[in-house]
Structure 1
Amino acid sequence: MLAELSIKNFAIIESLSVSLEKGMTVLTGETGAGKSIMIDAIHLLAGGRGSSEFVRYGEKRAELEGLFLLEEDGHPCFKKCEELGIEAGDGMVVLRRDISSSGKSICRVNGKLVTLAILREIGRLLVDIHGQHDNQELMNEENHLELLDQYGAAEVFSALQNYQEIYKQYTQLNKKLKQISENEQEMAHRLDLISFQLQEIEKAELQLREDTELEEERRQIANFEKIYDSLQNAYNALHGEQKALDWIGLGMSSLEDVAGINEKLKEMSETMSNHYYMLEELSYSLRNELDSLEFDPNRLDIIESRLNEISQLKRKYGHNVEAILEYAAAIEEEIDSIQNRDSHIANLKKELDSVEADLLVEGQHLTSVRKKAAASLKNEIERELKELYMEKTKFEVHFEDKSKQSGEVKASFFKQDGMDSPEFYLSTNPGEPLKPLSKTASGGELSRIMLAMKSIFSEHQGVTSIIFDEVDTGVSGRVAQSIAEKIYRVAVGSQVLCITHLPQVAAMADTHLYISKEEHNGRTTTSVKALKKDQQIREIGRMIAGVEVTDLTRKHAKELLLLASAAKN
């Protein structure tokens, strides 16, 4: 949930800090007091598009900050933060956005600077803002497939995963077939080029790790004198009369004479003996290394020439010998494909037909799973609409069967997310045909349809805070009461912030915030305060009657609160 919201120098808000609670919070106040400005601030905090117009007049920048508390360790926001290298622990995520008077934005998540795109990615997992003119997610048919898959959850995900595994093979084969079926003249030019490249690499007769070994040999020849002198000095220090091995041998003999006296002397004697024999072995190795050293100045020229040849090939074909040889193997295979183009095309088409058949089976299974989820969704949506006094409304998820045409599967119907393009259809009046959702509803109907869908999809989307910005516009009476109860039901166990002008909705609130504006020193400022019971009665009375709140209006407000309390219980 959004636990704390801080706003500074934003529009008409000079400085504002609001603590928010779980459940249903309503924001009310006179028109123009700044209710929607608060929602705009949250929208920008979650990655919405901003501009310099949001900065309070005369100030250099607007500052927005929100503290979100997440109870679930497995919340998608934590996973996203981990992917992006953002620390997110203790169940808290802090979003911050500063907008300068020049229009530039600085975005932070848990103190780390991020791009606006990343802020938007994380913000959409935390906040879902829904307004009277902001129904694009539900109204846009391009989003219906994602919403249906979210509703279908695990069963759809499993079928989709199986489909996508085969779809990956399918796209790779299609790409390979397209490449090999390209223009014949281009193929001929390509064959000439890669044949020359392969010949050049093969002529060099490269060996694995050859460049590394040659560089090591070059270093040894370049430092021959230094190596020889060091080995000679080391050998002379160990071997010969009055040298290290003589003295250590004397010490070893002395300790051997007393080794039998006690255990400690025995251990010391054994240690001395071990070191003597190790150093003796080392002296033999030094002597052998000296005997094997040879200095051939002509060899250095040969190495330099070979390394230069390899360097030329690296610039063209890979950063090391291994990469060059891998490239050679790849173009050798490509040459074979071009030279035996017809047979390769035939084999690829045969393989593609087999994969396409498997893909069709998985795609049809995915469609059947989605249709099963769609049938369940239809029943839930119609039940929700019935509770909102739209009992005659019919809802359906429309699937257009594009998988076949003249008995043949068309490749263009296979997509990353399946073969389906479901769209939500609706009929609000008996006898009227079902039509696309975007062309059916209007006004108060649209608000109720949106709320019915949101009450279902909010359970499957996992967002922390849902915000309704005057979604009750255009309704009244019993419909207003049903909307109030529906919003409250969405808020149970989560957090809903709601701007409203309906007293029925305000009466259902767990927390009632009153937004007002005042004038100080010729400047307008906005303030927010949580209403106590008597203040809430007065505000609901104002919403019922208008400017003048009478005793009768107060009585109606009290009655509305009692009815709301009964509805909650």
Structure 2
Amino acid sequence: MLAELSIKNFAIIDSLSISLEKGLTVLTGETGAGKSIIIDAVHLLVGGRGSSEFVRYGEERAEIEGLFLIEDDRHPCYEKATEFGIDISEGMIVLRRDISRSGKSVCRINGKLVTIAILREFGRTLIDIHGQHEHQDLMNQDQHLRMLDQYGGKELEHALEEYQQVYKKYTTVKQRLKKFNENEQEMAHRLDLIQFQLHEIGKANLRPNEDIELAEEKRKISNYEKIFKGLQNSYTALHGDQRGLDWVGLAMNHTEDLAIIDKELKEIHETISNSFYLLEEISYKIRDQLDQLEFDPARLDHIEGRLNEITLLKRKYGQSVEEILEYAAKIEDEIDTILNREQHIDHLREELRSVLEDVKIEAENISELRKKLAKDLIYKIGQELKDLHMEKTTFDILFLQNEETDSEQKLTPNGIDDIEFYISTNPGEPLKPLAKIASGGELSRMMLAIKSIFSKHQGVTSIIFDEVDTGVSGRVAQAIAEKIYGVAVGSQVLCISHLPQVAAMADTHLFISKETVQGRTTTSVTSLNESEKIKEMGRMISGVEITDLTKEHAKELIKMAEESKKNRQLVHNKR
């Protein structure tokens, strides 16, 4: 769960630190007090799109930090942590994001710098934020398949991965076949070009690493005089009367008799002896090098000419001799392919037929799996909608496949399925696309029903609802409150709400307010006790004026909520 949230210099927030608990935490307050700003901060913390506009006026940067406590050692975040090389100690994860006035973001997970993409991918395993904008997913048919696949979990994810591997092979073979069927004149021009290139490379008769070897030889010949003098002076320093080897040999002779007397002196003698014989061997090698050394101007000219020839080939075909030779091998295969074009086309067609059969089988398997999942999801959403007083609503998932079942055109990276959510809100009315007939309140309940189901499958640490109760009232508001609390049992839910029914269900009630201090507006958060909660709920019920009657109404709501919460807890514990 999200245990601590720290926000500094973010929008109208100066400095804010919030401790959060398990269960349902409800955030209430006047419009514009900063409730949604807090949710915006959490959204940025888990990889949302940032902007310099979030930085508080007059400050250099905004800072957001969150501490998450993970109790389940099989939580998906551990897999992500391993993937990105992040250490998790004692089930604690700290996310931090700084946004500068220039708009630049710095992201960290447990102190390690990460990209926004990694932060976003990691954040998805920790928090699921549901706001009014998510109604757009329900209105967008393109998102319906994604939502069904999300419900399918790991089983469907693995099936999709297997399908996509075969589909990738299918598209590769198809592209190669298409290339072979292109304009024959272009193919002929291509053949002329690569045959010329292969002839040019072959005529050079290149050897692997030839450029490196020639450059080394050129460096030696160019520095002949320096090498000769260095070797000659080295040899002279070692060999001859009163030279290095004479003095080392003399030291070896002087310590030879001493080695018999003292063990430590014996070690000194052995070291000197080893040094003498080593230096003697080296001096012989220097002499051999001097004997072999010769200056050949003609050889130098030949090397320079050869290197120039290789340089010209590098400009055309690669950065090294190895790359040039690899390119030659590649175009040699291409020449063979073009010259035997018909044979290769037949081979590719046969391969395409085989791969197409495989990809169709995988696609059909996924489609069958989706249809089973759809039936299960339809039933569960129906049960959830009954709880939300939409018992007369019929929900269905229609599979909109192409009429030509053998058509290749319907194959996509996601399979052969195209689905759309349909509903009928009144008995006797035909099913119609959800996007065309659902009202705002119905969309809120539909999304809440889906989230109630998905929250059991996603394994996220925290769920945030940002004003999902918009457009509802009365018994529907009570049903939504109970549904949100049901999601919170055994987990953590943060909810921004204007409904007293939702506030009554809160395990923790946070009041968001704003005030002006020294000419600047700032937001503060207060955790309400029982009497303060009654007062705030009275304001939510009646507006500005809070009467004894509204207080009694608030107390009654809280009493009813406590009974409902007990029943929900009993149901949860029995599971």
TM-score, with normalisation over the residues of structure 2? 0.86
Please state whether the residue corresponding to 1:207 is helix, strand or coil: coil
In structure 2, the CA distance between the partners of 1:205 and 1:523, relative to structure 1 (3 Å rule), is closer
Give the counterpart letter for 1:4 in structure 2: L
Residue 29 of structure 1 corresponds to: 29
Q: How does 1:78-97 map to 2 (within 5 A)?
A: 90-97=92-99
Is the contact between residue 45 and residue 97 of structure 1 (CA under 8 Å) also seen in structure 2? no
Percent sequence identity is 60
Gaps of 5+ in 1: none
Contact in 2 for aligned 1:228/1:290 (Cα 8 Å): yes
Any idea what the Cα deviations from partners look like across 1:150-199, whole Å, max 9, x if unmatched? Answer: 32222112212221222222222122222222222222222222222212
1:52-71 aligned at under 5 Å gives the runs 59=58, 63=62, 65-71=64-70
What's the offset of the Cα at 1:219?
Answer: 0.7
424 and 175 in structure 1: CA distance in 2 versus 1, 3 angstrom threshold: same
Question: Which of 416, 419, 432 is the matching residue for 2:416?
Answer: 419
Structure 1 residues 23 and 254: CA distance shift in structure 2, 3 A:
same
Asked if the contact 2:107/2:115 (under 8 Å) is kept, the reply is: no
Identify the residue that residue 285 of structure 1 maps to in structure 2.
285
1:536 is displaced (CA, Å) by: 0.4
Q: Identify the residue that residue 105 of structure 2 maps to in structure 1.
A: 107
- 1:201 alignment partner AA: I
Distance 2:518 2:280 in 1: 96
Would you say the 8 A contact 1:388–1:479 is kept in 2?
Answer: yes
Deviates more, 1:234-243 or 1:122-131: 122-131
Kindly provide the amino acid, as one letter, of the partner of residue 348 in structure 2: L
1:162 aligns with 2:159: no
Quote the Cα distance in structure 2 between the aligned partners of 1:527 and 1:351.
67
Give the aligned partner of residue 4 of structure 1. 5
Is the 2:55–2:99 contact (alpha carbons within 8 Å) kept by the matching residues of 1?
no
Name the SS for the 2:104 alignment partner: strand
Deviations 1:458-487, CA, capped at 9 Å, x for gaps: 343454443323222232333222211111
Letter in 2 for 1:431: G
Distance 1:79 1:550 in 2: 54
1:564 pairs with 2:565 = no
Question: Does 2:432 match 1:435?
Answer: yes
- Map 1:198-213 → 2, pairs under 5 A: 198-213=198-213
Structure 2 CA distance for partners of 1:396 and 1:246, relative to 1, 3 Å: same
Secondary structure of the 1:468 match is strand
The one-letter code matched in structure 2 to 1:166 is V
Distance 1:246 1:524 in 2: 91
Q: Say whether 1:184 aligns with 2:160.
A: no
Task: Return the letter of the residue paired with 1:542.
Answer: R
In the alignment, what sits opposite 1:472? 469
Moved more, 379-388 or 342-351: 379-388
**Cα distance in 2, alignment partners of residues 270 and 43 from structure 1:** 74
- 1:490 counterpart residue number: 487
Q: Which residue of 2 aligns with 1:135?
A: 135
**Aligned mates of 1:522, 1:234 — CA distance in 2:** 83
SS of corresponding position for 2:166: helix
Query: Is 2:525 aligned against 1:528?
Result: yes
Worse overlay, 30-39 or 366-375: 30-39
- Taking a change above 3 Å as real, the CA distance of residues 311 and 83 of structure 1, as seen in their structure-2 partners, is farther
Cα offset for 1:224? 1.0
| Contact 1:106–1:113 (Cα < 8 Å) also in 2 | no
TM-score w.r.t. the length of structure 1 is 0.87
CA RMSD of superposed structures (Å): 3.4
The DSSP-based 3-state class of the residue aligned with 2:373 is helix
Please tell me the residue identity of whatever aligns with 2:7.
Answer: S
Residue 511 of structure 2 corresponds to which residue in structure 1? 514
Q: What secondary structure sits across from 1:305 in the alignment?
A: helix
Unaligned runs of 5+ in 2: 567-575
Rate the CA distance shift 1:237–1:173 in 2: closer, same or farther, 3 A: same
Closer, same or farther: CA 16–268 of 1 in aligned 2, 3 Å: closer
**What is the deviation of 1:446?**
1.8
Kept in 1: contact 2:400–2:417 (CA 8 A): yes
Deviation per residue, 1:506-540 (Å, 9 max, x gap): 00112212233456677765443221110101121
Structure 1 residue 438, shift from structure 2 partner: 2.0
Structure-1 separation of matches of 2:59 and 2:284: 79
Post-superposition shift, 1:36? 3.7
Q: Structure 2: how far apart are the matches of 1:233 and 1:519?
A: 86
Say whether the 8 Å CA contact 1:45–1:65 is kept in structure 2: yes
